[in-house]
Homo-oligomer: A and B are copies of this chain.
Amino acid sequence: MMQKLDVEAVRTGDRIALARTISEVENQTREGRLALSGLVSHTGKAHLVGITGSPGTGKSTLVSQLAKEFRNPPPAFTPQKVGILAVDPTSPFSGGAVLGDRVRMRDLAGDEGIFIRSMASRGALGGLSAATAAAAEVLDAAGYGVILIETVGAGQDDVEIVRLAHTTIVVEAPDLGDEVQAIKAGILEIADILVLNKADLPGVARAERALRSALELADATRPFTENSGHHRDQVKTSRIMQKGWRPPLIKTIATSGQGTAELYQAIMAHKQHLMDDKLWDDKNAARLTNELEHHLRENLYGNWQKGIDPDTYQRVLKSVLSHRLSPQQAALDLLKQPK
């Protein structure tokens, strides 16, 4: 048996214990699960902030600057320990596509109050967002007051990961083309805060106009409640109504730090809004319910795989591969088989 993970060391700020626990959790080991059970009573305090947007918008630089804001906030606020989870669902193969981003984050490495972790796709649909959620729980229990979850890309995966967050920031940049603006309508609908980064580039005025129009449109169509991908039947709380919150548009130049203090203030204002309207607990509940369902699904399939007779499976699979049986029907047939 592996050495038991030191839950108390994680709690008291041991970075090596923290890194090791996140690894075990990410790899879904028994040790990781037991560590989470030991840590779970200390969770529920961290502010999860999701940052998403297309490649080229300068997200990573913005995240670095934001981390500094949380470390050295204006006088009215308390400095927080900052966890950064950099999630890359776009590279299931090489896993190293965001190397440049990691390099840029090195300027944060000297600060013991910042913990950075890259989460690469593990190939399993939904697995990445579950691993990210669990890593966030470990950081939460370890006293990281804010966890910045940065995702690359603009697909369903990002939406799933961003749903973990209490506060979702969508980053845009000028001159990514008109088509981008149109296509991002869906992404804008999930934005609590919209950032127009690279505000020193030409075309910023035009981009700002386009984004303000898109925000108005998104605001008009913003659903009151919305079904989570995982919980169509049981739980309908994933998208929480945000009465009274109109997503602000903040212009930043992350490379120089311009506008990032304003962004920090907007994030804190959104947190306050969530607290005031009891939405904070609702968001936590939606996230945890999603996680529970994910693990139920994984375990159900894993258990079934262990129980099925391999010959039976191969026989049915062969019928599918020879176009005698549709995959849909084959699944029903297999589940009627005695195990």
Which residues from chain A sit less than 8 Å from chain B, CB to CB? 33, 36-37, 39-44, 54-56, 89-100, 121, 123-126, 128, 133-134, 137, 152-160, 176-177, 179-180, 182-187, 189-190, 221, 223, 226-230, 232-234, 284-285, 288-289, 291-301, 303-305, 313, 316-317, 320-321, 323-332, 334-335
With a 10 A CB-CB cut-off, give which of A43, A227, A288 has the most chain B CB atoms.
Answer: A288
**Bound complex: CA A194 to CA B178 (Å):** 23
Contact A326 B33 (CB under 8 A): yes
Task: Provide the residues of chain B in CB contact with A223, threshold 8 Å.
Answer: 93
Chain A contact residues: helix, strand, loop or mixed: helix
- Which residues on the B side are within 8 Å of A230 (C-beta)? 124-125
Given contacts A55-B177, A159-B92, contact A125 B124 (CB under 8 A): no
Shortest beta-carbon distance, A293 to chain B, in Å?
A: 8
Identify A179's interface contact among B56, B92, B300, B325, CB under 8 A.
B56
Distance in Å: Cβ of A21 to nearest Cβ of chain B:
13
Report whether B93 and A189 are in contact in the complex, using a CB–CB cutoff of 8 Å: yes
B100–A128 touching, CB < 8 Å: no
Q: Is the CB of A179 within 8 A of B100?
A: yes
| Inter-chain contact A36/B292, CB cutoff 8 Å | no
Cα–Cα distance between A189 and B324 once the two chains are bound (Å): 33
Q: Are B292 and A90 in contact (CB under 8 A)?
A: no
Asked if residues B190 and A93 are in contact (CB atoms below 8 Å), the reply is: yes
Q: How far is the CA of A99 from the CA of B40 in the complex (A)?
A: 45
Known contacts A98-B183, A125-B156, A182-B97: does B332 contact A299 (CB below 8 Å)? yes
Do A186 and B335 touch (CB < 8 A)? no
Contact partners of A289 in chain B: CB under 8 A:
317, 320-321
A125 → B minimal CB distance (Å): 5
Q: Which residue of B lies closest to A35 (CB)?
A: B326
Inter-chain CA distance A121–B221, complex, in Å, is 17
Q: 5 more A-B contacts (CB under 8 A) besides A44-B323, A92-B186, A133-B327?
A: A33-B328, A36-B326, A91-B183, A126-B126, A295-B331
Q: Complex: how many Å from CA A318 to CA B171?
A: 35
Query: Would you call B89 and A330 a contact (CB within 8 A)?
Result: no
What B residues does A292 contact at CB under 8 A?
316-317, 320, 327, 330-331
